[in-house]
């Protein structure tokens, strides 16, 4: 059975993708900072998942994720989904607290690369794949999205370079689109985001990506959606 590491898997997109992979026969190593929420997610994922509570910015935690995946025989896939929005409501760059900006970069840009580095020998050996969840805010200039957007832009760039440096791997920057998640709600405090689709709606497209293994690059899950 193939093995995947999925970060930020206690809720939202991470949980939806993990459930989809479990249903497709994958073994999982999943994490989240909130141990209670992660335990609740484990009930949904069942025996397919090993849960490891912790913070992706912690080197020991990253090492533990990789070690658990090795015990299962993998990893074949690393899904860098964990992320933070930063201050809510999001400030303009002129007012952005720099300590908060450093935290946003650490979680969204640095930690995912550090986890790739930890897992890379195993991924190379298995001709595996790396998915880093990104956003259109990495490409477009939206007022108030300077911190999060630039952090995701950094992750997009290192992913593109990694694809050149590791041609035996698949390295995808995956834009899931606007979804009805807690993070998206934090970006629009007090607003009704019920018009956004639930994370479960993009799972089929994600599984299609993993199954068909197209060339490394930027992927919009909407482009992989199977017509109803």
Query: Catalytic amino acids?
Result: 148
Which residues are bridge partners to 173 per DSSP?
132, 218
Other CB atoms within 10 Å distance of the CB of residue 214: 11
- Continuous H helices in 107-181: 111-125, 146-165
Is the Cβ–Cβ distance between 109 and 155 less than 8 Å? yes
Q: Which helix (H) or strand (E) holds 31?
A: strand 27-32
What is the rounded CA–CA span in Å between residue 117 and residue 119?
6
For every residue of 61-121, DSSP letters joined together read HHHHHHHHHHHHT--SEEEE------SSSPPPGGG--HHHHHHHHIIIIIHHHHHHHHHHH
């Amino acid at each position: 059975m193939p093995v995947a590491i999925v970060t930020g898997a206690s809720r939202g997109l991470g949980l939806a993708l993990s459930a989809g992979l479990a249903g497709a026969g994958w073994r999982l190593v999943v994490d989240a900072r909130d141990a209670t929420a992660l335990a609740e997610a484990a009930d949904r994922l069942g025996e397919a998942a090993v849960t490891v509570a912790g913070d992706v910015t912690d080197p020991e935690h990253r090492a533990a994720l990789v070690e658990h995946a090795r015990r299962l025989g993998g990893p074949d896939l690393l899904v860098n989904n964990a992320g933070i929005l930063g201050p809510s409501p999001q400030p303009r760059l002129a007012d952005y607290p720099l300590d908060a900006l450093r935290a946003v970069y650490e979680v969204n840009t640095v930690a995912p690369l550090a986890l790739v580095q930890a897992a890379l020998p195993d991924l190379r050996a298995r001709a595996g794949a790396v998915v880093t969840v990104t956003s259109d805010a990495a490409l477009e200039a939206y007022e108030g999205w300077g911190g999060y957007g630039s952090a995701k832009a950094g992750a997009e760039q290192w992913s593109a370079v990694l694809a050149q440096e590791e041609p035996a791997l698949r390295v995808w920057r995956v834009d899931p689109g606007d979804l009805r998640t807690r993070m998206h709600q934090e970006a629009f405090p007090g607003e009704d985001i019920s018009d956004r689709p639930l994370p479960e709606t993009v799972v089929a497209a994600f599984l299609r990506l993993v199954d068909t293994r197209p060339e490394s690059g930027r992927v919009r899950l909407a482009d992989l959606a199977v017509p109803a």
